[in-house]
Amino acid sequence: MQDNEGFSPIHAAALMGHTATVRLLLQFSPASADICDNRGQSFVHTAATKGHSSIISYAIGSSMLEHLLNAQDREGNTPLHLAVDAGKCKIVSKLLSSEIVQAHIMNNEGHTPSDLVQNCKGFYSMVSLVVKMYASGAQFQPQRQDHIEKWNAQDIMKWRDTTSKYLAIVSTLVATVAFSAAFNIPGSYGDDGKANLAGNCIAFSSHHSWLSFMISTHFLWLSINTMVLGFLAAISAVMSKKKGLNITMAILIYIGMWILTMLLTSLTTVGSFTGILKFLFGGRMERQRRAKRRISRQYPYAIFYTFNMVLFFVIANIALAGFDTFKSLSY
């Protein structure tokens, strides 16, 4: 039984993410797995598009459904094509983890799943997909270098500008409270009421703005850790006779910084650490070098972001090692 769009009950169950219903339908009617809608898509295509990972996991683990993992619809798209196009990073990870899924299949327009990353609208989704596809060995379609269009970085530009403004406001407030400065931003205001430095900051106008912004962020993170460590050392020196209190404070600060570091790492990570290192430092084979050249042209921010994420992780672990050393010296 199918509706006007060719949707069957198993398509509807996959669309809504009802894994138990899909299992039940396949148990009573195994042939329903091969039913396709008017676009030639099976229920696996539907689940991949909507991001229902439990159904994809079930399809990967079932030998009866293996042939659907690389099945192409009327436009030549596999479930991996649709998952990448929809920006479903979790689905892409699950599909790439299967040895059955082929990441080099081209659709009717000659696009591989890697080519469809360009349709991704979110910055973090784009970086995550680029890293995952490269780490899995997926390739782009053969294309002339001068025909490669750079990914539209409008979202990250907007995020950077907004974040920079908020950081400037917070920095001004902190300086005002700490040093009782006048309630003016650096440079004061002009006769027109606008800030004298508006539009002249390197974080906004320079063509190296992304690099400058990330370097400043790393120095900010390093300064925060150094400041906390210095504060802890100063308190320990003043309260040297209260060893128990010093140990307790050192442990609490260490735990707090560890939680903060793990939280920031989990929020900003774009894949497994092994995959990220492979993305940054791999590429000895010719096809990997070709893929890396394509990425550097089309998705340069992906390389910058992953490198800075690794650098942040290194700085954070050095800081934690410093706190751990101080904690050990307090005993």
Closest CA to 113 of 77, 142, 161: 77
Report the alpha-carbon distance of residue 282 to residue 289 in Å, rounded: 9
Report the alpha-carbon distance of residue 309 to residue 12 in Å, rounded: 40
pLDDT in tens, 240-298: 666 666 667 777 777 877 887 788 777 777 777 788 888 888 767 777 788 888 888 88
Q: Hey, what domains does the chain have and what are their CATH numbers?
A: 9-111 (1.25.40.20), 154-330 (no CATH)
Cβ atoms of 282 and 223 within 8 Å: the answer is no
Q: State the pLDDT at residue 294.
A: 87
In a 3-state reduction of DSSP, which class is residue 184?
coil
Please report which residue ranges of the chain form alpha helices under DSSP H.
9-16, 19-28, 43-50, 53-61, 79-86, 89-96, 123-135, 154-179, 202-205, 209-238, 243-268, 273-281, 286-298, 300-330
pLDDT in tens, 306-322: 888 888 888 888 877 87
User: For 34, what's the count of Cα atoms within 13 Å in the CB-facing half-sphere?
Assistant: 4
Report the alpha-carbon distance of residue 98 to residue 55 in Å, rounded: 14
Q: Hey, what are 239's tokens? A: 């309260």
pLDDT in tens, 184-215: 445 555 556 555 555 554 444 444 566 677 77
Look up residue 136 and give its amino acid: S
Cβ atoms of 152 and 109 within 8 Å: the answer is no
pLDDT in tens, 28-80: 999 999 999 999 999 999 999 999 999 999 999 999 999 999 999 999 999 99
Look up residue 185 and give its amino acid: I
